Chain A
Amino acid sequence: MQENSMRLGLQQTPRLLARLLVWRNRWARVAAPVRVLTAVALPAVTVCAAVAAAEIVASGDSRRGLLERHRLLLAVIAACIAASLVARRRAIERSDARRSWLAALPVGRSRARWESLVIACAPACVMLMVVPLIALVAPHAAIALLGGILVGAVVGYLIPETQVVDLPPGSRYVPHRRLAPKVPVPSLSALGLWPVRRLFASLRPQAVTRAAIPLLLVIPMGAKADAAMLMIGILVALAATALLVAAMLAVSKAATRWLLPLPLRPGTIAAQVLMRPLVVIGVLAAVTGWLVWVSGVTPQESARRGLSLFLVAALSAVGGSLLLIKRASRGGS
Protein backbone atom coordinates (compact mmCIF):
# COMPACT_ATOMS: atom_id res chain seq x y z
CA MET A 1 0.00 0.00 0.00
CA GLN A 2 2.71 2.39 1.08
CA GLU A 3 4.89 1.27 -1.81
CA ASN A 4 2.05 1.80 -4.30
CA SER A 5 1.43 5.32 -3.05
CA MET A 6 5.16 6.00 -3.29
CA ARG A 7 5.16 4.70 -6.85
CA LEU A 8 2.15 6.90 -7.72
CA GLY A 9 3.98 9.90 -6.29
CA LEU A 10 7.06 9.14 -8.39
CA GLN A 11 5.22 8.20 -11.58
CA GLN A 12 6.05 11.52 -13.21
CA THR A 13 9.73 11.17 -12.30
CA PRO A 14 10.77 7.94 -13.98
CA ARG A 15 14.49 8.20 -13.22
CA LEU A 16 13.83 8.54 -9.49
CA LEU A 17 11.30 5.72 -9.58
CA ALA A 18 13.75 3.49 -11.49
CA ARG A 19 16.51 4.18 -8.97
CA LEU A 20 14.18 3.50 -6.06
CA LEU A 21 13.10 0.19 -7.59
CA VAL A 22 16.70 -0.81 -8.35
CA TRP A 23 17.65 -0.03 -4.76
CA ARG A 24 14.67 -2.05 -3.49
CA ASN A 25 15.49 -5.00 -5.74
CA ARG A 26 19.12 -4.98 -4.61
CA TRP A 27 18.00 -4.94 -0.99
CA ALA A 28 15.56 -7.78 -1.67
CA ARG A 29 18.42 -9.89 -3.09
CA VAL A 30 20.54 -9.45 0.02
CA ALA A 31 20.53 -12.61 2.15
CA ALA A 32 18.07 -12.57 5.04
CA PRO A 33 20.72 -12.90 7.82
CA VAL A 34 22.60 -9.88 6.42
CA ARG A 35 19.37 -7.87 6.37
CA VAL A 36 18.59 -8.77 9.98
CA LEU A 37 22.18 -7.95 10.97
CA THR A 38 21.96 -4.56 9.25
CA ALA A 39 18.60 -3.80 10.85
CA VAL A 40 20.11 -4.55 14.27
CA ALA A 41 23.54 -2.98 13.66
CA LEU A 42 22.33 0.41 12.40
CA PRO A 43 20.35 1.42 15.54
CA ALA A 44 23.08 -0.12 17.72
CA VAL A 45 25.81 1.97 16.06
CA THR A 46 23.64 5.09 16.38
CA VAL A 47 23.04 4.45 20.09
CA CYS A 48 26.76 3.76 20.67
CA ALA A 49 27.70 6.99 18.88
CA ALA A 50 25.18 8.96 20.96
CA VAL A 51 26.47 7.41 24.20
CA ALA A 52 30.08 8.14 23.21
CA ALA A 53 29.12 11.74 22.40
CA ALA A 54 27.36 12.15 25.75
CA GLU A 55 30.45 10.80 27.53
CA ILE A 56 32.72 13.23 25.69
CA VAL A 57 30.45 16.11 26.69
CA ALA A 58 30.29 14.96 30.32
CA SER A 59 34.05 14.46 30.67
CA GLY A 60 34.89 17.83 29.10
CA ASP A 61 37.16 16.03 26.61
CA SER A 62 39.65 18.19 24.75
CA ARG A 63 38.47 16.69 21.40
CA ARG A 64 35.27 18.68 21.86
CA GLY A 65 37.24 21.90 22.10
CA LEU A 66 39.31 20.81 19.10
CA LEU A 67 36.18 20.40 16.98
CA GLU A 68 34.85 23.79 18.06
CA ARG A 69 38.17 25.54 17.46
CA HIS A 70 38.58 24.07 13.96
CA ARG A 71 34.97 24.42 12.90
CA LEU A 72 35.87 26.67 9.98
CA LEU A 73 38.36 24.11 8.64
CA LEU A 74 35.72 21.40 9.16
CA ALA A 75 33.21 23.47 7.17
CA VAL A 76 35.68 24.03 4.31
CA ILE A 77 36.60 20.33 4.11
CA ALA A 78 32.91 19.36 4.20
CA ALA A 79 32.14 21.92 1.48
CA CYS A 80 34.94 20.60 -0.74
CA ILE A 81 33.83 16.98 -0.32
CA ALA A 82 30.15 17.82 -0.84
CA ALA A 83 30.94 19.95 -3.90
CA SER A 84 33.09 17.26 -5.53
CA LEU A 85 30.60 14.48 -4.82
CA VAL A 86 27.61 16.47 -6.04
CA ALA A 87 29.47 17.77 -9.12
CA ARG A 88 30.59 14.26 -9.99
CA ARG A 89 27.11 12.83 -9.55
CA ARG A 90 25.67 15.70 -11.61
CA ALA A 91 28.16 15.10 -14.43
CA ILE A 92 27.40 11.38 -14.48
CA GLU A 93 23.70 12.08 -14.29
CA ARG A 94 23.90 14.51 -17.22
CA SER A 95 25.79 12.14 -19.49
CA ASP A 96 23.69 9.13 -18.49
CA ALA A 97 20.40 10.98 -18.95
CA ARG A 98 21.08 11.45 -22.66
CA ARG A 99 21.77 7.79 -23.28
CA SER A 100 19.35 6.42 -20.70
CA TRP A 101 16.62 3.96 -21.63
CA LEU A 102 14.27 6.48 -20.00
CA ALA A 103 15.49 9.41 -22.12
CA ALA A 104 12.57 9.31 -24.54
CA LEU A 105 9.88 9.50 -21.84
CA PRO A 106 7.82 12.69 -21.69
CA VAL A 107 8.82 14.37 -18.41
CA GLY A 108 7.99 18.03 -17.77
CA ARG A 109 10.90 20.47 -17.70
CA SER A 110 10.43 21.52 -14.08
CA ARG A 111 9.92 17.94 -12.89
CA ALA A 112 13.04 16.82 -14.75
CA ARG A 113 14.97 19.65 -13.09
CA TRP A 114 14.02 18.76 -9.52
CA GLU A 115 14.45 15.08 -10.32
CA SER A 116 18.05 15.71 -11.36
CA LEU A 117 18.49 17.96 -8.28
CA VAL A 118 17.43 15.13 -5.97
CA ILE A 119 19.66 12.59 -7.75
CA ALA A 120 22.69 14.91 -7.82
CA CYS A 121 22.35 15.98 -4.19
CA ALA A 122 21.90 12.46 -2.78
CA PRO A 123 25.57 12.22 -1.63
CA ALA A 124 25.24 15.51 0.26
CA CYS A 125 22.07 14.19 1.94
CA VAL A 126 24.05 11.15 3.12
CA MET A 127 26.73 13.48 4.49
CA LEU A 128 24.05 15.36 6.44
CA MET A 129 23.47 12.24 8.53
CA VAL A 130 26.73 12.97 10.37
CA VAL A 131 25.57 16.43 11.48
CA PRO A 132 23.25 15.33 14.36
CA LEU A 133 26.06 13.20 15.84
CA ILE A 134 28.52 16.10 15.74
CA ALA A 135 25.80 18.38 17.17
CA LEU A 136 25.66 16.25 20.32
CA VAL A 137 29.34 16.95 20.99
CA ALA A 138 29.98 20.35 19.46
CA PRO A 139 26.86 22.31 18.41
CA HIS A 140 28.74 25.20 16.80
CA ALA A 141 30.92 22.85 14.79
CA ALA A 142 27.77 21.03 13.66
CA ILE A 143 26.25 24.28 12.41
CA ALA A 144 29.47 25.06 10.52
CA LEU A 145 29.49 21.54 9.09
CA LEU A 146 25.86 21.87 8.00
CA GLY A 147 26.61 25.19 6.35
CA GLY A 148 29.68 23.74 4.62
CA ILE A 149 27.74 20.78 3.25
CA LEU A 150 24.89 22.96 1.99
CA VAL A 151 27.18 25.52 0.36
CA GLY A 152 29.30 22.72 -1.15
CA ALA A 153 26.21 20.98 -2.53
CA VAL A 154 24.94 24.20 -4.14
CA VAL A 155 28.36 24.99 -5.63
CA GLY A 156 28.76 21.40 -6.88
CA TYR A 157 25.31 21.51 -8.47
CA LEU A 158 25.98 24.82 -10.21
CA ILE A 159 29.39 23.88 -11.66
CA PRO A 160 28.94 24.18 -15.45
CA GLU A 161 29.04 21.11 -17.63
CA THR A 162 32.48 20.28 -18.95
CA GLN A 163 33.06 19.89 -22.65
CA VAL A 164 32.81 16.25 -23.65
CA VAL A 165 35.94 15.14 -25.49
CA ASP A 166 35.32 12.36 -27.99
CA LEU A 167 38.42 10.24 -28.00
CA PRO A 168 39.32 8.43 -31.22
CA PRO A 169 38.67 4.68 -31.13
CA GLY A 170 41.37 2.73 -29.38
CA SER A 171 42.65 5.46 -27.09
CA ARG A 172 40.79 4.74 -23.87
CA TYR A 173 43.30 5.72 -21.24
CA VAL A 174 45.31 2.63 -22.00
CA PRO A 175 48.75 2.47 -23.63
CA HIS A 176 48.30 1.36 -27.18
CA ARG A 177 50.87 0.22 -29.71
CA ARG A 178 50.02 1.74 -33.06
CA LEU A 179 52.40 -0.10 -35.38
CA ALA A 180 51.75 -3.79 -35.73
CA PRO A 181 52.25 -6.44 -38.40
CA LYS A 182 49.33 -6.80 -40.79
CA VAL A 183 48.54 -10.48 -40.27
CA PRO A 184 47.89 -11.55 -36.66
CA VAL A 185 50.49 -13.99 -35.34
CA PRO A 186 49.08 -16.84 -33.21
CA SER A 187 50.13 -16.28 -29.62
CA LEU A 188 48.61 -16.29 -26.16
CA SER A 189 50.87 -13.53 -24.84
CA ALA A 190 48.20 -10.82 -25.18
CA LEU A 191 46.39 -12.48 -22.27
CA GLY A 192 49.08 -11.07 -19.97
CA LEU A 193 48.31 -7.54 -21.18
CA TRP A 194 44.67 -7.78 -20.21
CA PRO A 195 45.09 -7.32 -16.39
CA VAL A 196 47.58 -4.48 -16.90
CA ARG A 197 45.19 -2.73 -19.26
CA ARG A 198 42.40 -3.24 -16.77
CA LEU A 199 44.59 -1.53 -14.15
CA PHE A 200 45.08 1.47 -16.47
CA ALA A 201 41.38 1.48 -17.37
CA SER A 202 40.46 1.69 -13.68
CA LEU A 203 42.83 4.68 -13.29
CA ARG A 204 40.53 7.00 -15.21
CA PRO A 205 40.63 10.68 -14.20
CA GLN A 206 37.32 10.51 -12.32
CA ALA A 207 38.45 7.53 -10.26
CA VAL A 208 41.82 9.11 -9.51
CA THR A 209 40.17 12.36 -8.40
CA ARG A 210 37.84 10.40 -6.14
CA ALA A 211 40.71 8.44 -4.61
CA ALA A 212 42.90 11.53 -4.13
CA ILE A 213 40.62 13.10 -1.51
CA PRO A 214 41.01 10.45 1.23
CA LEU A 215 44.68 10.09 0.25
CA LEU A 216 45.31 13.79 0.91
CA LEU A 217 43.33 13.67 4.16
CA VAL A 218 45.56 10.85 5.45
CA ILE A 219 48.63 13.13 5.40
CA PRO A 220 49.03 14.60 8.90
CA MET A 221 48.67 18.36 9.33
CA GLY A 222 52.02 20.12 9.47
CA ALA A 223 53.81 17.52 7.35
CA LYS A 224 56.62 18.84 5.18
CA ALA A 225 56.33 18.76 1.39
CA ASP A 226 59.02 16.08 0.91
CA ALA A 227 57.46 13.79 3.52
CA ALA A 228 54.03 14.34 1.97
CA MET A 229 55.39 13.54 -1.52
CA LEU A 230 56.95 10.31 -0.25
CA MET A 231 53.76 9.32 1.47
CA ILE A 232 51.73 10.02 -1.67
CA GLY A 233 54.23 7.94 -3.69
CA ILE A 234 54.00 4.98 -1.34
CA LEU A 235 50.20 5.14 -1.19
CA VAL A 236 50.00 5.32 -5.01
CA ALA A 237 52.27 2.26 -5.37
CA LEU A 238 50.19 0.36 -2.81
CA ALA A 239 46.93 1.36 -4.50
CA ALA A 240 48.28 0.34 -7.93
CA THR A 241 49.34 -3.04 -6.51
CA ALA A 242 45.91 -3.59 -4.95
CA LEU A 243 44.17 -2.62 -8.21
CA LEU A 244 46.42 -4.92 -10.21
CA VAL A 245 45.69 -7.85 -7.90
CA ALA A 246 41.95 -7.15 -8.26
CA ALA A 247 42.38 -6.92 -12.06
CA MET A 248 44.27 -10.25 -12.14
CA LEU A 249 41.48 -11.96 -10.23
CA ALA A 250 38.75 -10.52 -12.46
CA VAL A 251 40.63 -11.25 -15.68
CA SER A 252 41.47 -14.83 -14.65
CA LYS A 253 37.79 -15.59 -14.31
CA ALA A 254 36.73 -13.69 -17.46
CA ALA A 255 39.51 -15.18 -19.60
CA THR A 256 38.72 -18.72 -18.48
CA ARG A 257 35.04 -18.25 -19.28
CA TRP A 258 35.90 -16.78 -22.68
CA LEU A 259 38.39 -19.49 -23.61
CA LEU A 260 36.43 -22.48 -22.26
CA PRO A 261 35.34 -23.67 -25.72
CA LEU A 262 39.00 -23.78 -26.84
CA PRO A 263 41.44 -26.66 -26.37
CA LEU A 264 43.42 -24.93 -23.62
CA ARG A 265 44.40 -26.29 -20.22
CA PRO A 266 43.58 -24.14 -17.17
CA GLY A 267 47.29 -24.12 -16.27
CA THR A 268 48.18 -22.53 -19.61
CA ILE A 269 45.58 -19.80 -19.12
CA ALA A 270 46.85 -19.15 -15.58
CA ALA A 271 50.46 -18.90 -16.73
CA GLN A 272 49.64 -16.52 -19.57
CA VAL A 273 47.33 -14.29 -17.51
CA LEU A 274 49.57 -14.10 -14.44
CA MET A 275 53.21 -13.94 -15.59
CA ARG A 276 53.33 -10.39 -16.98
CA PRO A 277 51.29 -8.77 -14.16
CA LEU A 278 53.55 -10.54 -11.63
CA VAL A 279 56.53 -8.74 -13.16
CA VAL A 280 54.63 -5.45 -12.79
CA ILE A 281 53.89 -6.30 -9.14
CA GLY A 282 57.60 -6.93 -8.67
CA VAL A 283 58.42 -3.50 -10.09
CA LEU A 284 55.78 -1.83 -7.89
CA ALA A 285 57.16 -3.61 -4.81
CA ALA A 286 60.69 -2.49 -5.70
CA VAL A 287 59.50 1.11 -6.09
CA THR A 288 57.72 0.92 -2.73
CA GLY A 289 60.86 -0.45 -1.05
CA TRP A 290 62.94 2.32 -2.61
CA LEU A 291 60.49 5.02 -1.42
CA VAL A 292 60.54 3.55 2.09
CA TRP A 293 64.37 3.66 2.00
CA VAL A 294 64.30 7.28 0.81
CA SER A 295 62.05 8.17 3.75
CA GLY A 296 64.88 7.24 6.13
CA VAL A 297 64.33 3.57 6.94
CA THR A 298 67.36 1.25 6.89
CA PRO A 299 68.09 -0.57 3.57
CA GLN A 300 67.45 -4.02 5.12
CA GLU A 301 64.11 -2.95 6.56
CA SER A 302 63.12 -1.27 3.25
CA ALA A 303 64.00 -4.40 1.29
CA ARG A 304 62.07 -6.52 3.78
CA ARG A 305 58.98 -4.32 3.38
CA GLY A 306 59.24 -4.35 -0.43
CA LEU A 307 59.62 -8.14 -0.44
CA SER A 308 56.69 -8.53 1.97
CA LEU A 309 54.51 -6.44 -0.32
CA PHE A 310 55.53 -8.55 -3.33
CA LEU A 311 54.88 -11.82 -1.49
CA VAL A 312 51.49 -10.77 -0.12
CA ALA A 313 50.33 -9.36 -3.47
CA ALA A 314 51.73 -12.20 -5.57
CA LEU A 315 50.40 -14.94 -3.28
CA SER A 316 46.92 -13.44 -3.07
CA ALA A 317 46.82 -12.84 -6.84
CA VAL A 318 48.10 -16.30 -7.77
CA GLY A 319 46.08 -18.14 -5.13
CA GLY A 320 42.87 -16.27 -5.90
CA SER A 321 43.35 -16.56 -9.65
CA LEU A 322 44.03 -20.30 -9.54
CA LEU A 323 40.92 -20.80 -7.42
CA LEU A 324 38.77 -18.73 -9.79
CA ILE A 325 40.23 -20.41 -12.89
CA LYS A 326 39.57 -23.82 -11.39
CA ARG A 327 35.99 -22.90 -10.55
CA ALA A 328 35.33 -21.27 -13.94
CA SER A 329 36.90 -24.13 -15.90
CA ARG A 330 34.45 -26.57 -14.35
CA GLY A 331 31.82 -24.84 -16.53
CA GLY A 332 29.44 -24.73 -13.61
CA SER A 333 26.31 -22.69 -13.37
Chain B
Amino acid sequence: MSTTAIKIDDPTVFHLEEEPHHEEGSSTMLGFWLYLMSDCLIFAMLFAVFGVLGGNYAAGPGPKELFDLNLVAVNTAMLLFSSITYGFAMLAMDKDNRPQTLIWLAITGLFGLAFLGIELYEFGHLIHEGATPQRSAFLSSFFTLVGTHGLHVTFGIVWLVTLMVQVGLKGLIPANKRRLMCLSMFWHFLDVIWIGVFTFVYLLGMLR
Protein backbone atom coordinates (compact mmCIF):
# COMPACT_ATOMS: atom_id res chain seq x y z
CA MET B 1 0.00 0.00 0.00
CA SER B 2 2.68 2.42 0.98
CA THR B 3 4.58 1.93 -2.26
CA THR B 4 1.48 2.57 -4.37
CA ALA B 5 0.78 5.71 -2.34
CA ILE B 6 4.27 6.98 -3.06
CA LYS B 7 3.93 6.14 -6.73
CA ILE B 8 0.67 8.05 -6.98
CA ASP B 9 2.25 11.06 -5.27
CA ASP B 10 5.27 10.94 -7.49
CA PRO B 11 4.53 12.82 -10.73
CA THR B 12 7.37 11.08 -12.55
CA VAL B 13 5.44 7.82 -12.51
CA PHE B 14 2.83 9.25 -14.83
CA HIS B 15 5.53 10.73 -16.98
CA LEU B 16 7.38 7.41 -17.25
CA GLU B 17 4.23 5.49 -18.13
CA GLU B 18 3.53 7.78 -21.01
CA GLU B 19 7.08 8.20 -22.28
CA PRO B 20 9.31 5.40 -21.05
CA HIS B 21 12.45 6.81 -22.69
CA HIS B 22 12.29 10.15 -20.93
CA GLU B 23 14.42 10.50 -17.85
CA GLU B 24 13.47 12.74 -14.97
CA GLY B 25 14.75 16.27 -15.35
CA SER B 26 15.26 16.27 -19.09
CA SER B 27 12.59 18.95 -19.40
CA THR B 28 14.37 20.92 -16.65
CA MET B 29 17.48 21.11 -18.80
CA LEU B 30 15.52 22.37 -21.81
CA GLY B 31 13.68 24.90 -19.63
CA PHE B 32 16.95 26.13 -18.19
CA TRP B 33 18.43 26.39 -21.66
CA LEU B 34 15.46 28.57 -22.68
CA TYR B 35 16.13 30.77 -19.64
CA LEU B 36 19.76 31.11 -20.74
CA MET B 37 18.66 32.11 -24.22
CA SER B 38 16.42 34.84 -22.77
CA ASP B 39 19.34 35.95 -20.60
CA CYS B 40 21.39 36.04 -23.79
CA LEU B 41 18.85 38.51 -25.22
CA ILE B 42 19.29 40.76 -22.16
CA PHE B 43 23.03 40.81 -22.75
CA ALA B 44 22.50 41.38 -26.49
CA MET B 45 20.49 44.52 -25.67
CA LEU B 46 23.21 45.73 -23.29
CA PHE B 47 25.85 45.06 -25.97
CA ALA B 48 23.73 47.02 -28.47
CA VAL B 49 23.49 49.92 -26.00
CA PHE B 50 27.25 49.83 -25.47
CA GLY B 51 27.80 49.63 -29.22
CA VAL B 52 25.67 52.73 -29.76
CA LEU B 53 26.89 54.78 -26.78
CA GLY B 54 30.42 53.38 -26.43
CA GLY B 55 31.97 56.27 -28.37
CA ASN B 56 30.24 59.09 -26.47
CA TYR B 57 32.90 60.12 -23.96
CA ALA B 58 31.35 63.58 -23.26
CA ALA B 59 34.89 65.01 -23.28
CA GLY B 60 35.67 62.56 -20.48
CA PRO B 61 38.17 59.70 -20.33
CA GLY B 62 38.02 56.98 -23.02
CA PRO B 63 38.98 53.29 -22.95
CA LYS B 64 42.65 53.99 -23.66
CA GLU B 65 43.04 56.14 -20.54
CA LEU B 66 40.92 53.87 -18.32
CA PHE B 67 41.45 50.21 -19.17
CA ASP B 68 44.37 48.08 -18.05
CA LEU B 69 44.56 45.12 -20.43
CA ASN B 70 46.87 43.16 -18.10
CA LEU B 71 44.15 43.24 -15.46
CA VAL B 72 41.52 42.17 -18.01
CA ALA B 73 43.76 39.31 -19.17
CA VAL B 74 44.13 38.06 -15.58
CA ASN B 75 40.38 38.36 -15.12
CA THR B 76 39.73 36.41 -18.31
CA ALA B 77 42.12 33.71 -17.12
CA MET B 78 40.26 33.46 -13.79
CA LEU B 79 36.94 32.87 -15.54
CA LEU B 80 38.47 30.40 -17.98
CA PHE B 81 40.10 28.44 -15.13
CA SER B 82 36.77 28.39 -13.28
CA SER B 83 35.12 26.96 -16.39
CA ILE B 84 37.56 24.05 -16.67
CA THR B 85 37.43 23.34 -12.91
CA TYR B 86 33.64 23.26 -13.10
CA GLY B 87 34.05 20.77 -15.93
CA PHE B 88 36.22 18.63 -13.63
CA ALA B 89 33.50 18.86 -10.96
CA MET B 90 31.01 17.51 -13.48
CA LEU B 91 33.36 14.65 -14.38
CA ALA B 92 33.75 13.82 -10.68
CA MET B 93 29.95 13.96 -10.36
CA ASP B 94 29.64 11.44 -13.21
CA LYS B 95 31.83 9.07 -11.20
CA ASP B 96 29.65 9.68 -8.11
CA ASN B 97 32.71 10.93 -6.28
CA ARG B 98 31.26 13.36 -3.75
CA PRO B 99 34.49 14.62 -2.08
CA GLN B 100 36.15 15.29 -5.43
CA THR B 101 33.03 17.05 -6.75
CA LEU B 102 32.96 19.30 -3.69
CA ILE B 103 36.69 20.10 -3.97
CA TRP B 104 36.39 21.09 -7.65
CA LEU B 105 33.26 23.13 -6.90
CA ALA B 106 35.14 24.94 -4.13
CA ILE B 107 38.06 25.70 -6.48
CA THR B 108 35.55 26.96 -9.08
CA GLY B 109 34.01 29.21 -6.45
CA LEU B 110 37.43 30.59 -5.49
CA PHE B 111 38.24 31.41 -9.13
CA GLY B 112 34.81 33.06 -9.39
CA LEU B 113 35.54 35.12 -6.27
CA ALA B 114 38.95 36.10 -7.67
CA PHE B 115 37.23 37.27 -10.86
CA LEU B 116 34.74 39.33 -8.86
CA GLY B 117 37.47 40.75 -6.64
CA ILE B 118 39.52 41.92 -9.64
CA GLU B 119 36.42 43.38 -11.28
CA LEU B 120 35.43 45.25 -8.12
CA TYR B 121 39.02 46.51 -7.79
CA GLU B 122 38.83 47.77 -11.39
CA PHE B 123 35.46 49.45 -10.77
CA GLY B 124 36.78 51.02 -7.57
CA HIS B 125 39.85 52.26 -9.41
CA LEU B 126 37.70 53.80 -12.19
CA ILE B 127 35.36 55.50 -9.73
CA HIS B 128 38.32 56.77 -7.73
CA GLU B 129 39.67 58.37 -10.93
CA GLY B 130 36.35 60.12 -11.45
CA ALA B 131 35.23 57.73 -14.21
CA THR B 132 31.86 57.08 -12.56
CA PRO B 133 28.75 55.79 -14.38
CA GLN B 134 27.43 59.38 -14.39
CA ARG B 135 30.50 60.75 -16.18
CA SER B 136 29.54 59.88 -19.78
CA ALA B 137 27.24 57.69 -21.85
CA PHE B 138 30.25 55.46 -22.57
CA LEU B 139 30.83 54.89 -18.85
CA SER B 140 27.10 54.43 -18.12
CA SER B 141 26.79 51.69 -20.72
CA PHE B 142 30.15 50.19 -19.67
CA PHE B 143 29.15 49.87 -16.02
CA THR B 144 25.70 48.54 -16.96
CA LEU B 145 27.04 45.83 -19.27
CA VAL B 146 30.05 44.71 -17.22
CA GLY B 147 28.16 45.20 -13.95
CA THR B 148 25.27 42.99 -15.13
CA HIS B 149 27.76 40.26 -16.01
CA GLY B 150 29.42 40.64 -12.61
CA LEU B 151 26.02 40.43 -10.93
CA HIS B 152 25.36 37.16 -12.78
CA VAL B 153 28.69 35.78 -11.57
CA THR B 154 27.78 36.87 -8.02
CA PHE B 155 24.51 34.97 -8.17
CA GLY B 156 26.34 32.03 -9.74
CA ILE B 157 28.65 31.90 -6.70
CA VAL B 158 25.68 32.10 -4.29
CA TRP B 159 24.08 29.24 -6.23
CA LEU B 160 27.37 27.30 -6.19
CA VAL B 161 27.70 27.59 -2.40
CA THR B 162 24.04 26.57 -1.99
CA LEU B 163 24.61 23.47 -4.11
CA MET B 164 27.80 22.61 -2.22
CA VAL B 165 25.77 22.62 1.01
CA GLN B 166 23.05 20.53 -0.68
CA VAL B 167 25.55 17.99 -2.01
CA GLY B 168 27.28 17.94 1.38
CA LEU B 169 24.00 17.22 3.18
CA LYS B 170 22.19 14.92 0.74
CA GLY B 171 24.92 13.62 -1.53
CA LEU B 172 24.86 13.31 -5.29
CA ILE B 173 21.17 12.42 -5.56
CA PRO B 174 19.53 12.79 -9.01
CA ALA B 175 17.94 16.12 -8.04
CA ASN B 176 21.31 17.54 -6.99
CA LYS B 177 22.96 16.25 -10.16
CA ARG B 178 20.30 18.00 -12.19
CA ARG B 179 20.89 21.24 -10.27
CA LEU B 180 24.64 20.93 -10.78
CA MET B 181 24.08 20.46 -14.50
CA CYS B 182 21.92 23.60 -14.62
CA LEU B 183 24.59 25.59 -12.80
CA SER B 184 27.18 24.12 -15.17
CA MET B 185 25.27 25.57 -18.14
CA PHE B 186 24.86 28.89 -16.32
CA TRP B 187 28.56 29.08 -15.46
CA HIS B 188 29.81 28.22 -18.96
CA PHE B 189 27.23 30.61 -20.42
CA LEU B 190 28.70 33.45 -18.33
CA ASP B 191 32.12 32.60 -19.72
CA VAL B 192 30.68 32.86 -23.25
CA ILE B 193 29.25 36.30 -22.42
CA TRP B 194 32.65 37.32 -21.03
CA ILE B 195 34.23 36.51 -24.42
CA GLY B 196 31.93 39.16 -25.88
CA VAL B 197 32.77 41.60 -23.08
CA PHE B 198 36.55 41.37 -23.31
CA THR B 199 36.42 41.46 -27.11
CA PHE B 200 33.94 44.26 -27.76
CA VAL B 201 34.40 46.37 -24.62
CA TYR B 202 38.08 46.04 -23.75
CA LEU B 203 40.03 44.92 -26.83
CA LEU B 204 38.05 46.87 -29.43
CA GLY B 205 37.80 49.76 -26.96
CA MET B 206 41.58 50.02 -26.96
CA LEU B 207 41.53 50.20 -30.78
CA ARG B 208 38.94 52.95 -31.00
Binding between chains A and B: no
Q: Please report A residues at the B interface, Cβ cutoff 8 Å.
A: none
Q: Please report B residues at the A interface, Cβ cutoff 8 Å.
A: none
